[in-house]
C-alpha cells in the first residue's frame, strides 16, 4: 500500500438544480467565499489556477489545478492537480428531485513534505481532516446556493 495515496468520495445533496450548482463550482476563484478551508485561489489563465488550503492541521497545502473536463450538460467538472497534491478531482452533478446529488471524488498522491513524513501514523488524522474540510465545503456551498436562489426571487 502506498500510504501517501488517497481516494476520497463524498455525496452532497443540495437544494438547487444542477445548472445552478455547476455555475458556482465553475468559478474556482470564488471558492474561498463559501468553502472555509479554501484560503486562496488565484486564476493563472481561464482554465488554470493555484489554490491554498488549510484545515485543522497546522500546515497549508498548495496546488495547481487545470481543467481536464468541463461539461455542464453532462454535469461533470474535473481538474488535474499538481503541487502538494498530485492527481485529480471531479464533480458529477445529477438531478435529484428539485435539487442536485453532487458526487465529489478525488484521487491524489500527497507530495507535501510533512504529510509524507507522517504518512503511516498520520493517515487516520489526515482522512478525518479531509472529511471535516469537506463537510465545511458542503455547508458553505448549500448556504451560497440558498442565497443566490433567494436573490433571484
Prediction pTM value: 0.92
149 pLDDT higher than 70: no
pLDDT tens per residue across span 63-103: 999 999 999 999 999 999 999 999 999 999 999 999 999 99
pLDDT tens per residue across span 130-139: 999 999 999 9
* Residue indicated by cell numbers 493563472: 44
- Please tell me the distance from the alpha carbon of residue 77 to that of residue 104, in angstroms, as a whole number: 10
- Please tell me the distance from the alpha carbon of residue 153 to that of residue 148, in angstroms, as a whole number: 9
- Please tell me the distance from the alpha carbon of residue 21 to that of residue 148, in angstroms, as a whole number: 10
DSSP string covering 27-77, please?
Answer: -GGGHHHH-TTEEEEEEEETTEEEEEE--SSS--EEEEEEEEEEETTTTEE
- Please tell me the distance from the alpha carbon of residue 67 to that of residue 70, in angstroms, as a whole number: 7
CB 74 within 8 A of CB 125: no
Q: What pLDDT, on a 0 to 100 scale, did the predictor assign at position 147?
A: 73
Domains of the chain in sequence order: 5-148 (3.30.530.20)
pLDDT band at 50 (very low <50, low <70, confident <90, very high): very high
Burial class (CB in 10 A: 0-12, 13-18, 19+), 53: buried
- Please tell me the distance from the alpha carbon of residue 24 to that of residue 17, in angstroms, as a whole number: 11
Amino acid at each position: 500500500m502506498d500510504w501517501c495515496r488517497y481516494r476520497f468520495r463524498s455525496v452532497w445533496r443540495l437544494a438547487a438544480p444542477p445548472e445552478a450548482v455547476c455555475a458556482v463550482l465553475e468559478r474556482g476563484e470564488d471558492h474561498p467565499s463559501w468553502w472555509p478551508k479554501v484560503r486562496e485561489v488565484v486564476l493563472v489563465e481561464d482554465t488554470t489556477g493555484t489554490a491554498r488550503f488549510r484545515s485543522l492541521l497546522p500546515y497549508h497545502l498548495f496546488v495547481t489545478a487545470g481543467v481536464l473536463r468541463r461539461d455542464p450538460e453532462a454535469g461533470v467538472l474535473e481538474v488535474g492537480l499538481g503541487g502538494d497534491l498530485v492527481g485529480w478531482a471531479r464533480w458529477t452533478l445529477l438531478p435529484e428531485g428539485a435539487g442536485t446529488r453532487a458526487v465529489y471524488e478525488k484521487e491524489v498522491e500527497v507530495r507535501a513534505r510533512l504529510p509524507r513524513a507522517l504518512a503511516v501514523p498520520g493517515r487516520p488524522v489526515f482522512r478525518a481532516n479531509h472529511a471535516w474540510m469537506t463537510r465545511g465545503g458542503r455547508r458553505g456551498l448549500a448556504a451560497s446556493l440558498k442565497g443566490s436562489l433567494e436573490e433571484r426571487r
